Amino acid sequence: MNKWLITIVVAMLLFSVVLVGLFIMREYEYREVIVGFKELPTLLSSLIEKYDGIILEKNEKINAVLVKIKKGMEQTFLDKIVKESQVEYAELNGDVHAFYVPDDPKWGEQWGPERIRCPVSWDVETGQKSVKIAIVDTGVDYTHEDLAGNYVSGGYDWVNSDNDPMDDNSHGSHCAGIAAAVMDNNKGIAGVAQVSIMAEKVLDSGGSGSFSDVADGIVHAADSGANVISMSLGSSSPSSTIENACEYAWDKGVILVGASGNDYDNHVSYPAAYDSVIAVGALDQSDKRTSWSNYGEDLELMAPGDTIISTVLDDDYEFYSGTSMACPHVAGVAALALSRHPDYTNQQVRDLLVDTADDLGSVGWDEEYGYGRVDATFDDEVPSAGPVLKVDIHKLTRIDPMDPGDDEPEWYYMVTAESDSTNESEYNYNGQNEKILFWWRFVWNSEYTWEVDKTHVLNVSGPIVTLKIKLMEHDLMPPDDIADISSDATRRIAQFKYDLKNDTLIEDESDRVELDGSWYVTNGELDGSTNVDENDAKLWFNLSDNYDALVVELDDQYFGKKNEKITITGSASGGLPPYNYSWDMDNDGLYDDGYGKTIKWSWGTSGAYIVRLKVVDSFNQSEIKETTVYIDDSPPIVEITKPKGNSLYIFNRWIFPLPFRTQIIGSIDIEVNAADDAGISKVELYIDNGLKTTLTETPYNWTWDVKTLLRFRHKIKAVAYDNAGNSATNTIIVWKLF
């Protein structure tokens, strides 16, 4: 059989036309695809025709063929052909054009925008002037040749109390250039976004400023129409004034971005650490967190921050390093997001930046890299991110003879994964290419048992996948024999249903299998047949995937008072991001979009309210998590139950009642009873108006050592707080005798 095959292959090669010219780019009625091979296979035509392609030209010097594909089917062809083991690449035969490169002369010195994929994003959107970034810093040199074109007035100088926020340090101008220096003006650099920039000067010429000036700058920027506020400044100490200013801006729909700090510390600086601010750390050119970049539980995103060139005073340009440089990269990307999606809320933009960040460090969020490096394309194009089914074929063997004379079979098989909108297949052939002079031919291996040990990775688009395995034996004269590896007597192709969410076969919808250690074994004789002429065979396989079940997290309970906004934050993991978040706040089964993963809500009546968060991933899988919100304006019940009123205690023991007051001799255990429908958060115990202890768990007991106290009148006060913040007090008077 193999001799006949070789004869036919050689004959075909002798009559083939060798085309060695380069492919010419031109328009065609049908779409054309170029397929590049590691080496041109002997069964080239069969391989191309398998996916409905027609070979137009071959270029043997570069091992490539030009293929004609029916219009509209080119992407399907590309997706399938590229999975063949012989194929090195496949691409559309389109027009050649240069990648977008700004004409700014220092573009070649900017590694930051390249690293966060700005050039790709700029093919879609470079930015809209209606979007405004406020630089809250040392001011902005609005006369700079590379900033003037994007600068707008309206800011303020809080240091000198005037309307001229001119930079006298360069730090603010450097940040402004990173975010929004003018592009394609044949000057300097290119900013991340071609949007408007305004300045709030809150730092003096030495780079220092006050809490009040920073807060004033944030509020003024929000009131002046800023969409994004970039804050490359910070302190290790929190400020309620600045935090309130950030909350004010966030509530007005502003996106706030802050630098994590350069203190070699595992705590993010303020204001970046506040919930309303996106905290940004710095990366070097190796995508490693710089040693000085602060990190910790509040870190959200990373961006280039080491050796960054940008605008400084006097129409000049310098390299700076710091999380101050990382911050405006993210601010610029946020402005690009708003330019693309002008209807997005600040929460939606924040979620977009988080969900499409390029993961660094440990998988998912981690305290050193947050959610990863900001990505200006918002496409989350990570090869491993899409759902795939992995089919491991271990080995296969024949049971019945496949050839006349019981010759050893020449095996090959096809695995197919069918799901909602995808149908992907891969072939594997038992053989290898052998070189003959200056070409290659495929030589089959003939053997009863084929030790395959190959993994096939197939894209899927739904949580339930139908897997088909078709095992064949190559014959010189078609059609090839199909081996029976199914337990279904009506077919030979093995078929299984696989659940990606639960990582398991759906037994009642799958062929019956045997187990051999960790391997599934599909066997043609499991249909009850035992005849030797039925082409029965066995195949060992296993299945896995990269899809984790969608998990939604939400605190079990929230507490608050009437008409006060309560912040409720959920999160999602697993599934296929990005996620869509929607909320049912009225317990009516209707879900509202537009709030993102965090919602602020108030209720006007005391009571318990059910809130549900629904998360839908890009796989269209959804999960719902509910929580209970307790609205309570009633104070808790609190009572000091020991010592009792009008009693005598000696060394912690009640002796007998007294007619007019409580007296104690020696130390005594103070016991408090506290209760509330919303639950008790803590009980504070005071002796003579001095706080002695705070109790957070029942029983609310504390031993009062009275040895050093004067023999006199003393006041015991218990203050109980419920989870909604209401409080109540109970006080008793005791007299120490000895």
Active-site annotation, residues = 137, 171, 324
Contact assessment for residue 137 and residue 170, using Cβ atoms and an 8 Å cutoff: no
CA–CA dist 638, 74 (Å, integer): 75
DSSP state of 170: S
Quote the tokens at residue 614.
Answer: 């629904």
Quote the tokens at residue 451.
Answer: 């030790």
CA–CA dist 308, 283 (Å, integer): 11
CA pseudo-torsion sign 337, 343, 346, 349:
negative
DSSP characters for 312-368?
ETTTEEEEE-SHHHHHHHHHHHHHHHHHH-TT--HHHHHHHHHHTSB--SSSS-BTT
CA–CA dist 645, 661 (Å, integer): 7
Q: Which ranges constitute the DSSP H helices of 183-322?
A: 211-223, 240-251
Q: By three-state DSSP, how is residue 175 classified?
A: helix
Q: By three-state DSSP, how is residue 481 classified?
A: strand
Helix 346-355 to helix 323-340 angle, to the nearest 10 degrees? 110
Q: At residue 227, what is the residue type? A: N
CA–CA dist 459, 584 (Å, integer): 34
Q: Which ranges constitute the DSSP H helices of 143-210?
A: 171-180
Q: By three-state DSSP, how is residue 544 classified?
A: strand
Q: How many CA atoms lie within 13 A of 401 on its CB side?
A: 7
CA–CA dist 571, 561 (Å, integer): 24
CA–CA dist 71, 729 (Å, integer): 80
Phi, psi of 231 (to 5 degrees): -125, 90
Pairing of strands 690-695, 662-665: unpaired
Cβ atoms < 10 Å from Cβ of 493: 18
Of the candidates 305, 146, 293, which has an alpha carbon nearest to the alpha carbon of residue 234? 293
Distances (CA, A) of 322 to 206, 360, 427: 17, 19, 52
CA–CA dist 287, 295 (Å, integer): 15
The DSSP H or E segment spanning 381 is none
Distances (CA, A) of 489 to 120, 360, 486, 533: 54, 51, 7, 14
Residue-wise over 566-580: b if at least 16 C-beta within 10 A, else e? Answer: bebebbbebbbbebb
Q: Which ranges constitute the DSSP H helices of 19-157?
A: 44-50, 74-81, 112-115, 118-122
Contact assessment for residue 199 and residue 139, using Cβ atoms and an 8 Å cutoff: yes
Quote the tokens at residue 61.
Answer: 């010097």
Q: How many CA atoms lie within 13 A of 88 on its CB side?
A: 10
